[in-house]
Structure 1
């Protein structure tokens, strides 16, 4: 047997702690190359393909499709060739993958979408066994340990070193977990000098701290000796948790279905609750005659530079919002709670709320204000198509500054949208309907829509919000007024 390497689930986003394995793209016995996609994982923000940092033969898949795995947990074992890992150690260097960074061309013409994670190009060195756990590791030894027995019981203890790419250290949580696991044997050997760290997940550690319970004095009742909430509550003499006091759920009725809340839906639910109860929302409404915009849309779509590009009403709403934001830059800002400052952004990263089979996602177009109308149309089309296919890259899900939600595509007139966390304004665009409207002193059938603007009242007061919404409405009612902006 050659040298075995375990690939641990990396942090593919901003501080994510877990991911669901949607499907494996390789099987035991397959030969893989560096950067070849191994599996598809759904995180709290998007579905991404994890590329291989090693070249070799797959010897074990440590989790099945559908499993939710903690960051830092080994998910696959690869035989990278070279001398046996149990030999004299000469194979340590041979176990390293070929030089290259994730993001290059992958087999099959695909491109690995995991940004900033890949093989290191420097000489490999095994971590000293007495390495201390970093203070900012963010994971206890048990935080990333799966309770499912591995399919390959003889896999060696292997760790990988975090890679720096573009000034960003990646795989920090996975590395911290690896350091904890590898340092455990040396801590046990040095029992006279240091007590081993108890096995408990972060929520249980916080509960113990709140209740004043010393975890080192407890014996865990969970699998593998993991300390549970019940162990901590029993040691503190605390009452059973709220969950334990609830009555048993009623028997399921005919046709009842239960859907686990995880991945994108779980993240969206948490984000919306946090936003609704953190930022003081105010919503204003405006009904607009968009007949002129509808006529302009037909003329624009016929121009050669828009050939093959969808010219939708959303395109004009987006352009109107960008022009109005340039006139009222305070709307494009966010509240920094820690620093007690308002951050006015220098560019508009325009988010478009998209409904997908996995739930609501809000990818954004970076620096949308610099784009021409044709470029903006192409960017919006690509963004929504990628989101609905579940292939949005993680970097497209972060950094948004303003959002549009197009409820009109569902035939809905308007709503009261909730702010995307970290943003100060979101515009809901309703359905365009033919309605009776007073035009030039007479009641005529006109194309009418409704807009709803929700904003953070800590940053945007009523006057600013009203002026901004009025400018968006004016640009949609008479697109020619854009020349005056």
Structure 2
């Protein structure tokens, strides 16, 4: 009985539905609904066109405001100091234009624009402290520019290998950083003609410089940082141009800074590299230093360098003594790899470094910096000189980046370029050894026949981590390093 009742109700519901549809969808009703639908469609399109015109007019009149935020520079850096603004409020900028230069406790970097637009607000004054993740500037983007709320572009002279952009050239993508593209543009170099040596064929700044050197046969001369020695010759008959180096025994006029007297105490916070020095030297204080000093007779090396100097200059490279010192150190580290190692914080494990990334303490306008030459064990003396020229140029311009300052495994400090003979160098953690080179002096010495002769003598001072390096090892390494320099022809046997 229940089944019959449900069936009757279903049939009645179906009949009523069919009658409702026939009444609602009569021809006159269809015409009315169709006209109403067409009118509504026209009205909707009119509203869309009016709205689009109004929106386009608003965008053309004023673009969107984009906040530039300081991106993560790496190495655990959370704050930087704004050194210089390259723009001011109201200035128009294009993509990759430099906005400002900031300095962390490790390196200086340049912030570049990601958009075309107008600077509307600067969030910091010069010498102000900017925090990672906080806005640096506000930019009013131009109409039609693609808005992408990403962090700002951070550029260094040698940008991190993982950060890159792509540029479409002749149908294929060429990988290069904005700094590299700008360098190529300034020198009228097509990136498609440059062979990239970075990861996945990425073009590095070094590739541009090498390409430029091959085309022009010269590289911009670096600022002189290394000590130069010239053997005094006969007096010239005509006025000679100003020598590049100061002859032995002749001191240049002192360039002492002007005295500053304010009459009151001045207190300021530690910033930048001074702050980094506090951290590094505090960590170095935990290392028991072992010191060792010796002297090296560089008379033969002076003659050899005088012969090779002109050859290197024709190739566009300034050849100092430092490339020989660095290469001799690398040859010595092959025999005593413990000097090219690092010790973990718990003093439980030693890591022997495969690469000889030999640092050079450099006195710059920003303070003491220690860039390093990567993979010295694979480089020739000439290639080391090329890299030193590049580092000197960057140091003089205050453009040494993290790529040049990080990753050192062994350090030499050329204190002789400023003055002094002996020093007590402080180890740079996590390294375990460092050497300080004094100035080269012409001094009397006895030769093998007992005759007094002129000799070019340089003092060297070594410091080593006495927890893992004993005095005998440091002494043997120093003897081998000295032998290479006193008999530079012997280096040929071990060069690769």
TM range (shorter): 0.5 to 0.7
The SS at the match of 2:439 is coil
Instruction: Report what 1:342 is aligned to.
Output: 350
Instruction: Using the TM superposition, give the Cα deviation of residue 50 of structure 1 relative to its aligned residue in structure 2, in angstroms.
Output: 0.9
Q: Which runs of 5+ in 2 are unaligned?
A: 1-61, 168-198, 201-260
The SS at the match of 2:263 is coil
The partner residue of 2:140 within 79, 93, 97 is 79
Mapped pair 1:15 → 2:76: yes
1:245-304 CA deviation, whole Å, 9 max, x = no partner? xxxxxxx973766564211121122212211x2222111101111111111111121336
Mapped pair 1:313 → 2:321: yes
The partner residue of 1:476 within 478, 481, 485 is 485
Mapped pair 1:368 → 2:368: no
Please say if residues 101 and 117 of structure 1, whose CA atoms lie closer than 8 Å, have aligned partners that are also in contact.
Answer: no
Instruction: Report what 1:463 is aligned to.
Output: 472
Instruction: Using the TM superposition, give the Cα deviation of residue 324 of structure 1 relative to its aligned residue in structure 2, in angstroms.
Output: 0.8
The SS at the match of 1:353 is strand
Instruction: Using the TM superposition, give the Cα deviation of residue 363 of structure 1 relative to its aligned residue in structure 2, in angstroms.
Output: 0.8
Mapped pair 1:453 → 2:462: yes
Matches within 5 A, 1:174-189: none
Please say if residues 51 and 112 of structure 1, whose CA atoms lie closer than 8 Å, have aligned partners that are also in contact.
Answer: no
Separation in structure 2 between the aligned mates of residue 447 and residue 111 of structure 1, nearest angstrom: 37
Separation in structure 1 between the aligned mates of residue 401 and residue 111 of structure 2, nearest angstrom: 12
Instruction: Report what 2:290 is aligned to.
Output: 282
Please say if residues 407 and 430 of structure 1, whose CA atoms lie closer than 8 Å, have aligned partners that are also in contact.
Answer: yes
Matches within 5 A, 1:20-419: 20-80=81-141, 94-96=146-148, 113=159, 254=263, 260-275=269-284, 277-303=285-311, 307-337=315-345, 340-419=348-427
Change in Cα spacing, 1:447 to 1:120, as seen in structure 2 (3 Å) is closer
User: Which moved further from structure 2: 394-403 or 5-14?
Assistant: 5-14
Give the structure with the larger helix fraction.
2
Separation in structure 2 between the aligned mates of residue 112 and residue 451 of structure 1, nearest angstrom: 32
Mapped pair 1:426 → 2:434: yes
Separation in structure 2 between the aligned mates of residue 419 and residue 346 of structure 1, nearest angstrom: 20
Change in Cα spacing, 1:21 to 1:3, as seen in structure 2 (3 Å) is same
1:202-245 CA deviation, whole Å, 9 max, x = no partner? xxxxxxxxxxxxxxxxxxxxxxxxxxxxxxxxxxxxxxxxxxxx
Q: Which runs of 5+ in 1 are unaligned?
A: 84-92, 104-109, 122-165, 168-251
Separation in structure 1 between the aligned mates of residue 454 and residue 305 of structure 2, nearest angstrom: 18
Instruction: Using the TM superposition, give the Cα deviation of residue 401 of structure 1 relative to its aligned residue in structure 2, in angstroms.
Output: 0.6
Change in Cα spacing, 1:39 to 1:99, as seen in structure 2 (3 Å) is closer
Change in Cα spacing, 1:114 to 1:49, as seen in structure 2 (3 Å) is farther
Please say if residues 273 and 367 of structure 2, whose CA atoms lie closer than 8 Å, have aligned partners that are also in contact.
Answer: yes
The SS at the match of 1:298 is helix
Instruction: Report what 1:5 is aligned to.
Output: 66
Instruction: Report what 2:55 is aligned to.
Output: none
Please say if residues 80 and 129 of structure 2, whose CA atoms lie closer than 8 Å, have aligned partners that are also in contact.
Answer: yes
Separation in structure 1 between the aligned mates of residue 108 and residue 312 of structure 2, nearest angstrom: 35
The SS at the match of 1:412 is coil
The SS at the match of 1:40 is strand
Separation in structure 2 between the aligned mates of residue 470 and residue 296 of structure 1, nearest angstrom: 20
Please say if residues 355 and 388 of structure 1, whose CA atoms lie closer than 8 Å, have aligned partners that are also in contact.
Answer: no
Separation in structure 2 between the aligned mates of residue 469 and residue 41 of structure 1, nearest angstrom: 40
Please say if residues 4 and 77 of structure 1, whose CA atoms lie closer than 8 Å, have aligned partners that are also in contact.
Answer: yes
Please say if residues 93 and 116 of structure 2, whose CA atoms lie closer than 8 Å, have aligned partners that are also in contact.
Answer: yes
1:383-409 CA deviation, whole Å, 9 max, x = no partner? 122112210122111101111100011
Separation in structure 1 between the aligned mates of residue 154 and residue 274 of structure 2, nearest angstrom: 28
Please say if residues 69 and 151 of structure 2, whose CA atoms lie closer than 8 Å, have aligned partners that are also in contact.
Answer: no
The SS at the match of 1:481 is helix
Change in Cα spacing, 1:54 to 1:117, as seen in structure 2 (3 Å) is farther
Instruction: Using the TM superposition, give the Cα deviation of residue 357 of structure 1 relative to its aligned residue in structure 2, in angstroms.
Output: 1.4
Change in Cα spacing, 1:484 to 1:368, as seen in structure 2 (3 Å) is closer
1:360-394 CA deviation, whole Å, 9 max, x = no partner? 01111111221111111111121122112210122
Instruction: Using the TM superposition, give the Cα deviation of residue 78 of structure 1 relative to its aligned residue in structure 2, in angstroms.
Output: 1.6
Q: Which is greater in Rg? A: 2
Separation in structure 2 between the aligned mates of residue 119 and residue 305 of structure 1, nearest angstrom: 36
Separation in structure 2 between the aligned mates of residue 115 and residue 63 of structure 1, nearest angstrom: 29
Q: TM-score, normalised by structure 1?
A: 0.64
Q: TM-score, normalised by structure 2?
A: 0.63
Please say if residues 407 and 428 of structure 1, whose CA atoms lie closer than 8 Å, have aligned partners that are also in contact.
Answer: yes
Instruction: Using the TM superposition, give the Cα deviation of residue 65 of structure 1 relative to its aligned residue in structure 2, in angstroms.
Output: 1.6
